[in-house]
């Protein structure tokens, strides 16, 4: 039974100590921000492509009937 007392005090001391908690919290926060940035970075090209395709279609529809400077119409 005497060997259990030091183990219990070591276990209790381990759970009470918080000397490295700040470092772990900052590391977890940095990892979370990094994962969110990576997810956003992977979504950007698809969204940009969709925007440019939409803009191109709009411009093509606007310029489908360009008047002829010589007087001829569409």
CA 44 to chain centroid, in Å, comes to 10
Burial pattern 33-57, b for ≥16 Cβ within 10 A else e, equals eeeeeeeeeeeeeeeeeeeeeeeee
Q: Tens-digit pLDDT profile for the chain (74 aa)?
A: 556 678 888 888 877 777 777 888 899 999 999 999 999 999 899 999 999 999 988 887 776 666 667 666 56
Task: Return all residues near 54 (Cβ < 8 A) that are at least 6 apart.
Answer: none
State the pLDDT at residue 32. Answer: 97
What values do phi and psi take at 20, rounded to 5? -105, 10
State the pLDDT at residue 34. Answer: 96
State the pLDDT at residue 3. Answer: 60
74 touches 65 (CB < 8 A): yes
């Amino acid at each position: 039974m005497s060997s259990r007392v030091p183990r219990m005090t070591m276990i209790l001391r381990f759970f009470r100590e918080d000397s490295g908690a700040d470092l772990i919290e900052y590391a977890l926060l940095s990892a979370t921000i990094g994962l969110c940035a990576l997810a956003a970075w992977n979504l950007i090209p698809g969204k940009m492509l969709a925007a440019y395709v939409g803009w191109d279609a709009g411009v093509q529809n606007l310029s489908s009937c360009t008047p002829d400077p010589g007087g001829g119409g569409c």
